[in-house]
Amino acid sequence: MILAIVLPLLTLSVLAASLWAAWKAVRTARTPQGAMGWVVFLLTAPYIALIAYLFLGHHRYRHYLVSRRESGRVMEAANDFSVRFAPGHQPGGINPRPFEKLAALGATRGNDMELLVDGDATFEALFAAIDGAQHYILAQFYIIHDDRIGQAFAERLIAAADRGVSVRLLYDPVGSHALPVAYLQRLRDAGIRVPHKNRLSKRSGRLQINYRNHRKTLIVDGIHGFTGGLNVGDEYLGRDPKFGHWRDTFIRLSGPMVSELQLVFAEDWHWGTGETLISPLHWEPAPAAADMTGLILPAGPADEMETGTLFFVSAIVAAKDRLWVASPYFVPDTDVLSALKQAALRGVDVRILVPDMIDHTLPWLAAYAVFDECRAAGVNFWRYKEGFLHEKVVLVDDRMAAVGSMNMDNRSFRLNFETMAVLFDGRAARAVETMLLADFAKAEQLDKALHEQPFKIRVGAPIARLFGPLL
């Protein structure tokens, strides 16, 4: 008797909830394809799809938007120094205007950069900056492991705090899910400001596990800034036998771009803690003699525009001679795919460098589903053979270079908070060119069509592509 009453009510409740979720998907999904996929899934398999939608569906990041409005002083500071350090006209250079609009930050002159190739060079530079800190350290990483390099990282932060340096640390609660409570408590006991996992989860929404803060940043005294692709873990120094050599890139910045990087951290800190982080920080970095022009481009699911997609489209459209991209994952949306093919068709040297080694199976397989159509248009793909390639680098002609945390996939385009350091300077472009040429020398060009691949790839690639919007 009870089942006869409960089951129909349960069915009606699930149906009503599925219809509500389908309507919300139509209203909030970033693409028509994503909306249609959720609607079909929710209406055909409501019991499974409803749970999946609660965790993986698109939900506007209202808390982040509210925090952004509340941190008006952050944006006032951004507008102020963007005007003071505005670059002059650069004949023949790439127009920074599209990137400025996407970043909501202006391109500034007076910057300098240095590429940090792989983990040893990166952590040597990061630790030297931490050891030399006099006033404050702002650190943010997607993944922090409690291993050899993680312990060394903690020890240096604690040593800085012991000598009176103010230290703040942000981490992603999902990316760093394995980080022991004792590790974090040790930092807090030393006086380091570290938000608790439950507070970070509450601010982001406990069900929104699909949206992650993927940024990797270190700022010291408002003078030295670092960002790129490495997290804090032994594998990033090639110590994991599964991957062997780990190929990655960080960038060291000086000049006004450090203040922009600091603004992005301040916004994330305000969102995660509620504290407006302006007055305690230094906002007057000395212009660097190199006088490079650049900006910091943050992107994330709270943006009004498709910042990640439009960053790549803008870079591709700007290319006249070459577009080289290194990314561990290649699962772009249709807009970026079309732009890549169009660039190759008009004669641009388009090269995409991806790893040959498997990190995550689904995105690795999904890439094979689009290789052929891109190669038909003239896009060249290279597979890095000496370990795992994890760098996120873009080179446009001899005029623009970008290094950061953004992969060439839908997850970075729409689901993650990311950061790219973008430089409109021939010297930066030549440095990236030299680095990428060394990477291509350790790679092999992909020349086999999908039908020539092993059976598991021929079958798996089309299936994996169905999950492209989530990868």
Q: Is 392 a known active-site residue?
A: yes
β-bridge pairing 408-409 and 330-331: parallel
User: From the candidates 112, 172, 333, 397, which is the catalytic residue?
Assistant: 397
Phi, psi (deg, nearest 5) at residue 3: -60, -35
Q: Is 439 a known active-site residue?
A: no
User: 358 in the Ramachandran plot: left (φ > 0), alpha (ψ -120 to 50) or beta?
Assistant: beta
User: From the candidates 221, 248, 333, 425, which is the catalytic residue?
Assistant: 221
Q: Is 89 a known active-site residue?
A: no
Q: Output the CA–CA distances (angstroms, integers) from residue 17 to 21, 32, 50, 61, 206, in the order listed.
A: 6, 21, 8, 21, 19
Residues 329-352 as b/e (b if ≥16 CB within 10 A, e otherwise) read bbbbbebbbebbbebbeeebebbb
- Please, what's the largest Cα pairwise distance for the chain? 82
User: From the candidates 145, 224, 341, 390, which is the catalytic residue?
Assistant: 390
Q: Is 409 a known active-site residue?
A: no
Q: Is 448 a known active-site residue?
A: no
Q: Is 442 a known active-site residue?
A: no
User: From the candidates 214, 224, 270, 341, which is the catalytic residue?
Assistant: 214
> What does the alpha-carbon distance between residue 272 and residue 172 come to, in Å, rounded to a whole number?
10
Is the separation of the CB atoms in 393 and 325 below 8 Å? yes
User: From the candidates 24, 392, 425, 439, which is the catalytic residue?
Assistant: 392
User: From the candidates 24, 216, 224, 270, which is the catalytic residue?
Assistant: 216
Nearest 5 degrees, angle CA 449-CA 453-CA 456?
Answer: 135
Which active-site residues does the annotation give?
214, 216, 221, 390, 392, 397
